[in-house]
Amino acid sequence: MGRQDGLDRLAAALVGAAALLCALNGAVMLAAPLDWYQRVPGVPLTGPSNTHFIRDIGVAYLASGVLLGLAARDLRSRWPVALAGLLWIGGHALVHLYELATGLCTPGRFLADAPGVLGPPLLVLGGLAILFARRRVSPVGLPSALAVRAIERAAAEPDSYLRDLRAAPGRALPAFLHFMHAAMHRHSASPELFHAARIGSVMADDCGGCTLAAGRLAIADGVPREEVNRWLAGQESDRAAALALRFGRAVALADPEVNALGDAVEAAHGRGVRAELAMGAALVRGFSGTRRGLGQAESCAVTRLRL
């Protein structure tokens, strides 16, 4: 959630650099295979040139470059696309490492090839490592078991309803993860505004477990714990957060006041923030509805709403 920070941009830049290198190399191999063969150090030592074969490899490099370029535009969401783009260049690098280990390639020749062979996959792996180490990736694309464990750990909620979805037929959990990604979209809105609207909505939906999960998510996104507990207790908050809470509640209850509250949010923070708060407040109810349908929702009245 939130805008990209410096490390996010660095990760995207590393993948983007790999995309550019792959695309340029592939384009040259397609357009001028004999020039490529003669100009790349070490290539003539592999045997006579074969323009058809060079162009085949060029297509693979170009495809990797396109995939990596698409991933770099939104790496936090498209990290599986980056893995797809890594398949060819990573496998190519492993072949070179194998030949070095088995003596089919001399160390000198391996080092000469290393920048072009190992460089792009290492750039991609470096970018993905930055995001995964910081948990800045969408759960969409994670293996189901890993996704459930990661979400339960973040929500401090073991044995969650997500396990029921994982056991359901027809890949119900991956479909739900796409919904979860949309329900947690935040770009321009501050953490306080965004999560206040979500908590206001889910409290109006009377789901105690969902409310606590929304509160934990707010804390994980940087909202002070004491502020979240004030929201849960219905205590006074600052004007902006109080407005977001009321707006989220109005969205959930279809309160006629919702238009006036939305206009107030828009006047203070802009149309984009209003859209994010509306989206968050509306979609967060999908969690409570799913829980309720699976028999795992308790009223806020019987849940200790404190974190």
Q: What residues have CB less than 8 Å from 177, skipping those under 6 apart?
A: 138, 139, 140, 142, 147
CA dihedral 131, 135, 138, 144 (to 10 degrees): 120
Q: Per-residue pLDDT tens for 58-93?
A: 999 999 999 999 999 999 999 999 999 999 999 999
Among 116, 133, 150, identify where a domain stops. Answer: 133
3-state helix, strand and coil shares in percent for the chain, rounded to the nearest 5: 75, 0, 25
Predicted pLDDT of residue 60: 96
**45 and 119 assigned to the same domain:** yes
Q: Per-residue pLDDT tens for 235-261?
A: 878 899 999 999 999 999 999 999 999
Q: Which domain holds residue 288?
A: 184-302
Better pLDDT: 35 or 304? 35
The owner of tokens 């849940």 is: 303
**122 and 204 assigned to the same domain:** no
* Six token digits for residue 198: 């979500």
**220 and 125 assigned to the same domain:** no
Q: Is residue 161 included in any domain, yes or no? A: no
> Taking a C-beta distance cutoff of 8 angstroms, is the pair 71, 81 a contact?
yes
Query: Does the structure show a pLDDT above 80 at 155?
Result: no
Q: Is residue 38 included in any domain, yes or no? A: yes
Q: Is residue 138 included in any domain, yes or no? A: no
Q: Which 8-state DSSP code applies to residue 294?
A: T
